[in-house]
Amino acid sequence: MNNATAAVLAFLLVAFFGADWFFNDARILTFLGRRLIDLIEYIAFWR
């Protein structure tokens, strides 16, 4: 991956999270955060 591709992907991620924050009151971020915590707890259980 070259620098231009990385910059475009970074911009798209920031734009996606910014739009979520602006239009949906960060509901997608909250959902993903909760799912990530559940995944970490699930993986820690099997450790």
- Residue pLDDT, tens place only, 1-17: 899 999 999 999 999 99
- Residue pLDDT, tens place only, 25-41: 999 999 999 999 999 99
- Read off the pTM: 0.69
Alpha-carbon distances, residue 24 vs 7, 8, 28, 34, 45 (angstroms): 25, 23, 8, 16, 33
